[in-house]
Amino acid sequence: MSDPVTRAFFVGRALASVLGEKVEAAFTDTLSNIGKFEAEQRENIRQLTTEVMSRADYDLGNFDPTAAESPASHPPQRPADLQETIDDLRAEIARLRSALTTHRT
């Protein structure tokens, strides 16, 4: 019974069996970790929601509409034009480069 072909067959079968068990264990652990992560994230979101709602309720309870500033007291500010801001920054960089060149010479 020490036929090498028969022995190789049983070694291969045992190897396949062990590898299958290892893959199954790794897959089960991965699914378990995913489940834990999902549960933790749900709990974090629940805690965040609870904290936000409690702060909102507290602020609502302490809100005094007569003490609030009227919208007319502060005129709405015009949002800065992005292209204008970029152009201003480029002009400032050009001035600084010119000043550095002048300083170096």
Inside any domain, residue 102: no
**Virtual CA dihedral for 18, 24, 26, 31, nearest 10 degrees?**
-170
Average pLDDT over the chain reads 85
**The Cα angle at residue 83 between residues 79 and 88, in degrees rounded to 5:** 95
For 34, list phi and psi in degrees, rounded to 5.
-65, -40
Query: For 27-74, how does the pLDDT look when each residue is reduced to its tens digit (9 = 90+)?
Result: 999 999 999 999 999 999 999 999 999 988 888 888 777 765 555 545
pLDDT of amino acid 68: 56
Mean pLDDT for the stretch of residues 83-103: 88
Question: What does each C-alpha distance from 38 to 7, 24, 31, 41, 51 come to in angstroms?
Answer: 46, 21, 11, 5, 20
Inside any domain, residue 40: yes
Domain count, the chain: 1
Mean pLDDT for the stretch of residues 17-27: 96
Inside any domain, residue 42: yes
Inside any domain, residue 59: yes
Inside any domain, residue 24: yes
Q: What percent of the chain is predicted at pLDDT more than 70?
A: 86
Expressed as residue numbers, the domain containing 36 is 4-63
Question: Residue 70, by phi and psi: left (phi above 0), alpha (psi -120 to 50) or beta?
Answer: beta
